[in-house]
Structure 1
Amino acid sequence: MTAAGAAVRTVLGDVAPRELGVCDAHDHLFLRSPQLPGQELDSVQAAAGELAAYRAAGGQGLVQWTPYGMGRRAGDLPALARASGARIVAATGLHQAVHYTPETLTALRAGGLAALFVRELTQGIGDSGVRAGLIKVAGGFHGLDAHARWTMTAAAEAHHATGAPVAVHLELGTGALDVLDLLCAELSVPPGKVILGHLNRFPDLTVHRQAAEAGAYLALDGPSRVHHATDWRMPDAVRALADAGYGDRLLLGGDTTTAAARSVDGGPGMPYLLRRVGPRLALAVGEELVDQMLTTNPAAAFAVEWPG
C-alpha cells in the first residue's frame, strides 16, 4: 500500500507514483568503471537513442542505478527526460570498492558517506540540481566485506533521514539473506524499503521465497546475458513466487551495463525487456502479473514520503 503523500523523485521533480508508468526498474543510461574498459556508457546521443527505442516499445519510467563516482552524468538526465517523455529516477550510493580509486574512498570516509547520500537525495547531485530518488549499494559474492558493511550502514542512515529506498547489487545474485540481516535486522531499514537486484542470476527458489517472505522487493534484471541464468530461468522463478503469494514483491529491469549491450549498438538493450522478456513471462504467468511487475510494483517500491 502506497502512502497518500508518497512520491517518486524523478530528475524533473517529484511525481505521483502512478505517473511512473511502465517501468524498467533497474537500468543504466550512463555508466563508467575501470572494470569495464572500452565499454563505457558515456554518450548522450546513444542514451537519447536508447530512450527513444525504449519509449517506442512502450516504456515510460526508468530507474538508473548508477551510483556516485561511476559517470552518472546527472546534469544530462533532465534534458533526456524532457526530450523522451520518460520518467527517469537517478541514484546516489556507492558500488563495490573495486570500482573506485583508494584516494576516492579515503576522501569519502573523511567527508562522511551518509551525509553525501542525504545531500544528493534532498539537495542535488553536485551542482546539477538533480535529486536522487534511491540509494544504490552492493554486496559481495556470498558475503559482505568491510566495504559493503560501511556503505550499507551509510545507506541505512540516509534511509532513516529521508525514507529513500535502498537498492542492492547482489554479486551474481548471491548474499540476499546476509544483506537483509544487516540492513533490516541490524540497521532497522524496513524490508519494504529494500530492493534486491540480480536475483535471477542465482536461481535458488528457496532463497527467493525467503527474501520475499521477509518483505523485500526482488528485482529480476539483466536479461539476455549468456553467462548468467537469466531469461530461461526467469519464468520458473516468477511462477514460484507468484504461486506463493509474492507477486507484489517482483520488479523487472534490463541492467544495460556495456555499450555493446545497447540496442542502438546492435544489442538487446532496454527495449528487450518489453519486446521479449515481458511477453515470454506473460505466457508463463499471465499478462496481469507482468503488468503488475512493470507498473504497480515499481510505483510502490520507489514511492517515498519525502521529508519537507
Structure 2
Amino acid sequence: MVRRPAPEAAVRAAVRTVRGDIAPEALGVCDAHDHLFLRSPRLPGQELSDPAAAAAELAAFRAAGGAAVVQWTPHGMGRGAAELPGLARESGVHIVAATGLHQAVHYAPELLAGVGADLAELFVAELTEGIGDTGVRAGMIKVAGGFHGLDAHARWTMTAAAEAHRATGAVIGVHLEGGTAAQDVIELLCGEQGVPPRRVILGHLNRFPDPGMLRRAAETGAFLAFDGPSRAHHATDWRLPEALRALADAGHGAQLLLGGDTTTAAARSVNGGPGMPHLLRRQRLWLAETLGPELVTRMLTVNPARAFAAVWPPESAGRRATGA
C-alpha cells in the first residue's frame, strides 16, 4: 500500500515542474493542458516525437506571452521526459509533466501487462522520485473516462490515481471522452474514493457544452478545463464564450482553466496549425471581448496556479527549480 505523509510534516504548496518545485505565483501565464510529446496506436504517423519541433513550438508560445505548459501525456505514451528539462531551460517556459494512464486503446497489450499489479505505486514513484531513470518528476496525475461511462480499465486507473493523490497531494486531471461522464468521474473519485473535488480537473468540457451538464460539473467544486482550440474537428468551439460567461456569472470563475491540447504534428503552429500560441494570440483576445480581460487573465494565471499546486510529501519536496 502507498504510505501517506504525516500531516505535521507538510510543506508549503508548490507546483512541481520538470526542473523542480516553484511557488504557485511563479507559474505565470499557463496553457493548462497541452502536449509536447505524444504517441499512440490510435494516431499512427501523427506522433509528437521531435525535440526540435517541440523547442520551436515552445519558443512561439513564449513569444506570444506564455510562461508555463502542463503536458498531460501520461505513462507509456512517449512523454519525452528526458528532453523536458532542457526544453524548459532553453525556452524559459515552465513545464509540468504527468504520470497516470490513458484509456486502454492507447496502449499495446504488452505495455499494459508490464505496468505491474500496483499501479498507484508507479504513479507515486513518478511523482516523488522520477520518471524511469531520468530523475524528472511528474507534477500531476492524468487518467481517462469513456464515452458516457467508465469501463473496468477507467475504474482501475482512477482508483490508483486516488490512492496516489492521497499519498502525494497531486491533482488528478481527467480526460472526458467527448466531454462526457463528468458525473460518473466525480462519483468515483470524490464519492467512492474521497478525493476532494478541488483536487480534480475535468478536461475537455468544451466538447459537450450542455449548460445543465456544465452547471452540475461546476457545482461539484472541481476545476473545469476547456482545452481544445488546436483541435480542428471540434464544431462546438464557437459556444465557448457563452459557456464560460454562464459559469462565471454563476460564481464559478475561480474553477475555469484554458488549454490548447495539441496532439498531432500538423496541429503545431510551426507546421501551419494553431498550436500552443493560438491560445494567447487569438483565443485570449476573442474570449476577452465576451468575458472581459480580467477574467481571462485569471483563467490563465491564478486558476492554474491553484489547480496544480500541491503540498508534496516532505521527502520529495526539497528539490527546488534550478538552472540545471
TM-score (norm 1): 0.97
**After TM superposition, where is structure 1 displaced by more than 6 Å over at least 4 residues in a row?**
none
Cα distance, 1:59 vs structure 2: 0.2
Question: Which residue does the alignment assign to 2:22?
Answer: 15
Task: State the SS of the aligned residue for 1:270.
Answer: coil
User: Given the alignment, which residue of 36, 40, 43 partners 1:36?
Assistant: 43
Correspondence 1:135 to 2:161: no
Would you say how many aligned residue pairs link Structure 1 and Structure 2? 305
Please, which of 62, 79, 87 is the counterpart of residue 80 of structure 1? Answer: 87
Partners of 1:41 and 1:224 lie apart in 2 by 14
Helix, strand or coil at the partner of 1:73: coil
1:154 corresponds to which residue?
Answer: 160
Q: Is the 8 A contact 1:167 1:195 kept in 2?
A: yes
1:236-274 alpha-carbon deviations (Å, 9 max, x no partner)? 110000010100000000000000000011100000000
* Post-superposition CA distance 1:81-105 (Å, at most 9, x none): 0000001000000000001122221
CA displacement at 1:296 relative to structure 2: 0.3
Q: Is the 8 A contact 2:41 2:108 kept in 1?
A: no
How far apart, CA to CA, are the structure 2 residues paired with 1:90 and 1:97? 20
For the 8 Å contact 2:168–2:312, the answer to whether it is kept is yes
Query: What is the aligned-residue RMSD (CA, Å)?
Result: 1.1
Post-superposition offset of 1:109: 3.8
Q: Deviations over 1:55-90 (max 9, x none)?
A: 000000100000000000101000000000001000
Q: Deviations over 1:177-204 (max 9, x none)?
A: 1100000000000000000100000001
How far apart are 1:46 and its partner, in Å?
0.1
1:265 aligns with 2:276: no
The one-letter amino acid of 2:134's match is S
Question: Which residue is equivalent to 2:299?
Answer: 293
Aligned to 2:107: 100
1:307 paired with 2:313, answer: yes
Distance 2:212 2:203 in 1: 16
1:211 and 2:237 equivalent? no
Amino acid at match of 1:280: W
Paired residues of 1:136 and 1:167 also in contact (CA < 8 A): yes
Following superposition, the deviation at residue 211 of structure 1 comes to: 1.1
What do the CA deviations read for 1:97-127 (whole angstroms, capped 9, x no partner)? 00112222122243x1100000000000001
Find the aligned partners of 1:275 and 1:40 in 2 and give their Cα distance.
25
Q: Partner of 2:33: helix, strand, or coil?
A: strand
Amino acid at match of 1:120: E
- Kindly indicate whether the alpha-carbon contact (under 8 Å) linking 1:92 and 1:117 is maintained by their aligned counterparts in 2: yes
The answer to whether residue 65 in structure 2 is matched with residue 64 in structure 1 is no
Contact 1:199–1:218 (8 Å) recurs in 2: yes
After superposition, the C-alpha distances for 1:116-140 in whole angstroms (9 at most, x for unaligned) are 0000000000011100000000000
Separation of aligned partners in 1, 2:178 and 2:141: 20
Q: Equivalent of 2:132, from 106, 110, 126?
A: 126
Give yes or no for contact 2:256–2:299 (8 Å, CA) kept in 1: yes
Distance of aligned partners of 1:4 and 1:209 in 2 relative to their CA distance in 1, 3 Å threshold: farther
- C-alpha distance in 2 between matches for 1:196 and 1:120: 22
CA positional deviation for 1:4: 8.2
Once residues 90 and 231 of structure 2 are traced to their aligned partners in structure 1, the CA distance between those partners, rounded to angstroms, is 30
The equivalent of 1:172 in structure 2 is 178
CA distance in 2, matches of 1:261, 1:89: 21
CA distance in 1, matches of 2:106, 2:231: 21
Q: Distance in 2 between matches of 1:199 and 1:304?
A: 23
> What is the distance in 2 between the residues matched to 1:306 and 1:176?
27
Gaps of 5+ in 2: 1-9, 315-324
Distance in 2 separating the partners of 1:101 and 1:71: 13
Give the share of equivalent positions with the same residue, in percent: 73
- For 2:197 and 2:46, how far apart are their aligned partners in 1? 34
**TM-score scaled by length of structure 2:** 0.93
